[in-house]
Amino acid sequence: MDTPRPGRTAGDRQQAAVASDADFVVVANRLPVHLDTSDPDAPRWRRSPGGLVSALDPILRNRRGAWVGWAGTVTGGARPALPEQDIRLHPVPLAEDEYRDYYEGFSNTTLWPLFHDVVVPPDFDQAWWHSYLRVNQRFAQHTAGLAAPGATVWVQDYQLMLVPALLRALRPDVRIGFFLHIPFPPPELFLQLPWRSQIVDGLLGADLIGFQLPGGAQNFLQLVRRLHRGESVGRAPRSSLLGSVLVPGREVRVGAFPISVDTAGLEELARSEAVRERARQIRRQLGEHRRVMLGVDRLDYTKGIDQRLRAFEALLADGRASARDTVLVQIATPSRERVEHYRRQRARIEALVGQINGTFGQVGQVPVHYLHTTVGRSELAALYGAADVMLVTPLRDGMNLVAKEFVAARPDLGGALVLSEFAGAAHELTRALLVNPHHPAELSDVMAAALDQDPAEGRCRMRDLRRHVRERDVHHWARSFLTVLRAGGSGAVPSGSDDSPQAAVVA
Catalytic annotation, residues: 181, 397
The one among 400, 483, 497, 502 contacting ligand GDG by CB under 6 A: 400
- For residue 331, the minimal CB distance to ligand GDG (Å) is 5
Give the residue with the Cβ less far from ligand GDG, 259 or 448: 259
With beta carbons less than 8 A apart as the criterion, state whether 383 and 375 touch: yes
Using CB under 6 A as the binding rule, whether residue 402 contacts ligand GDG is answered as yes
With beta carbons less than 8 A apart as the criterion, state whether 433 and 416 touch: yes
Q: What is the DSSP letter of 3?
A: P
Instruction: Tell me which residue of 480, 475, 490, 477 sits closest to 152, measured CA to CA.
Output: 490
Q: Contact letters (x/-) for ligand GDG, 239-268, by CB under 6 A?
A: --------------------x---------
Give the residue with the Cβ less far from ligand GDG, 34 or 348: 34
Task: Look at the chain and count its residues.
Answer: 507
Give the residue with the Cβ less far from ligand GDG, 20 or 420: 420
Q: Contact letters (x/-) for ligand GDG, 464-493, by CB under 6 A?
A: ------------------------------
Window 355-374: residues binding ligand GDG (CB under 6 A): 374
Using CB under 6 A as the binding rule, whether residue 397 contacts ligand GDG is answered as yes
The one among 35, 43, 47, 49 contacting ligand GDG by CB under 6 A: 49
Axis crossing angle, helix 305-317 with helix 440-451, rounded to the nearest 10: 70
Q: Work out the widest C-alpha separation in the chain, in whole angstroms.
A: 71
Using CB under 6 A as the binding rule, whether residue 61 contacts ligand GDG is answered as no
With beta carbons less than 8 A apart as the criterion, state whether 261 and 473 touch: yes
With beta carbons less than 8 A apart as the criterion, state whether 261 and 405 touch: yes
Give the residue with the Cβ less far from ligand GDG, 104 or 397: 397
- For residue 355, the minimal CB distance to ligand GDG (Å) is 24
Beta-strand runs (E) in 92-214: 147-156, 175-179, 208-211
- For residue 394, the minimal CB distance to ligand GDG (Å) is 8
The size of the interface with ligand GDG (CB under 6 A), counted in residues, is 20
CA–CA separation, 205 and 166 (whole Å)? 7
Instruction: Tell me which residue of 181, 201, 450, 197 sits closest to 312, measured CA to CA.
Output: 450
Alpha-carbon distance values, 466 to 5, 270, 393, 397, 460 (Å): 47, 14, 20, 21, 10
**Helix, strand, or coil here: 487?**
coil
Give the residue with the Cβ less far from ligand GDG, 434 or 493: 434
Which one of 58-66, 310-318, 354-362, 397-405 is the stretch in contact with ligand GDG (CB under 6 A)? 397-405
Window 291-330: residues binding ligand GDG (CB under 6 A): 296, 298
Question: How many alpha carbons fall within 13 Å on the CB side of residue 474?
Answer: 23
Using CB under 6 A as the binding rule, whether residue 192 contacts ligand GDG is answered as no
The one among 207, 405, 428, 473 contacting ligand GDG by CB under 6 A: 405
Q: Name the residues that contact ligand GDG, by CB under 6 A.
A: 49, 181-182, 259, 296, 298, 331, 333, 374-377, 380, 397-402, 405
